[in-house]
Structure 1
């Protein structure tokens, strides 16, 4: 073999690797695909809660100020509120909450999600199926739920995943994920 052929063979591998990196084809841990940097926020009131108040990233949201939240029903499990507020950088500030429980007690609680969950990430049992280039349909939602004396925080997202059998379903599928990430009863 000539020297030029040997040099071409040795240089070809790194050259292809550089080309792929420049094209955005770097290997990525599958869990990293589910990290997020922006989100919506939604509030829900149940269990007789009144005067629910949330301050987050300089914005104040209020809910159940004229009537008490109803009891939580089985159909409310994994439900994202219909009204969402804002477009925020992930964990931009602590969630500062106030509300009145069913018995009228005023409760206050603050949670700093940045301390509780250092890396904003949606949990999913099959991250290898997630469509790498666009894992989310829309943006994830942080749901703050007041239920009598308990506050729950959930991450909700619609993931775009590859079908189990691409031959029968060539396009992506949408999977709704709703995960409890924080809960506290006062």
Structure 2
């Protein structure tokens, strides 16, 4: 694939978007480029429509029944509990760290200069605002390699085995299973790796469709999307 963007010596696109390749639908693309196979685009569109209508309708049972004429939804089986996943999306974030670098699936997803200290994490609400931007294939690539220096300059390095952390393949969420729609499509969950000074944490963020609005006063609350802490280690 021809790289049509100007890049600096570190490989970063000069328009501010990362220039490191990511894998999507069996092909190598650059983050920010619109490349994906048509079957996956079609499937993603159906899922997005289902999720959007869930939010607009305030619940997911009626939405999926109305979409049942589409081939993608026809092939969807009722959800089984506990919920499990076979693919995921991923991102890594570094806060209060010098020269943070994260290698995921043999690619740099974070590559900060050694002389740069990243800004601080602004609390739990900040974590909830973070999303995964790298589309992965089936679970799981090799362990994630993370190197950085904490705020005090002490170097750290670790290898994080997501395959082991999520060995039961369960979607980690904080929703009562009785409130989850049995028939709505559940998208691949997001896995977030966060370095914060001397602490490394793994969160899972899943988009869980609800039978009824989570907030009766808000008809658009038919989906739960909280990040839940799965793993943490302090160095």
TM surpasses 0.5? yes
43, 54, 61: which one aligns with 2:109: 61
Determine the C-alpha separation between the residues in 2 that align with 1:135 and 1:39: 15
CA contact (8 A) 2:175 2:224 kept: no
> Which moved further from structure 2: 105-114 or 169-178?
169-178
CA–CA separation in structure 2 for the residues paired with 1:70 and 1:25: 43
Aligned to 1:154: 203
> Any idea what SS the aligned residue of 1:96 has?
strand
Answer yes or no: is 1:37 the counterpart of 2:86: yes
Query: 1:100: which partner in 2?
Result: 149
Instruction: List gaps (5 residues or longer) in structure 2.
Output: 1-73
**C-alpha separation between the residues in 2 aligned to 1:142 and 1:181?**
10
Asked which structure has the greater CA Rg, the reply is: 1
1:51 maps to what in 2?
99
- The structural deviation recorded for 1:24 is 7.6
Native 8 Å contact 1:30 1:128 kept in 2: no
Question: Is the aligned partner of 1:76 residue 2:76?
Answer: no
Which residue, out of 129, 140, 150, partners 2:179?
129
State the Cα distance separating 1:120 from its structure 2 match.
2.1
Shift, 1:79, TM fit: 2.7
Q: Spell out the pairing of 1:111-126 with structure 2 (5 A cutoff).
A: 111-122=160-171, 123-126=173-176
The structure that is strand-richer by fraction is 1
Tell me the TM-score normalized by structure 1.
0.70
Deviation of residue 135 (structure 1)?
A: 4.3
2:78–2:182 Cα contact (<8 Å) kept: no
Spell out, residue by residue over 1:92-120, the C-alpha distance to the aligned partner (whole angstroms, 9 max, x if none).
Answer: 32121111211222210112122233122
Looking at structure 2, the residues matched to 30 and 38 of structure 1 have their Cα atoms a distance apart, in angstroms, of 17
Distance 1:27 1:49, change over 3 A: closer
Instruction: Tell me: CA distance 1:172–1:135, structure 2 relative to 1, closer, same or farther (3 Å).
Output: farther
The aligned counterpart of 2:158 is 109
How far apart, CA to CA, are the structure 2 residues paired with 1:107 and 1:28?
Answer: 41
- The corresponding residue for 1:10 is none
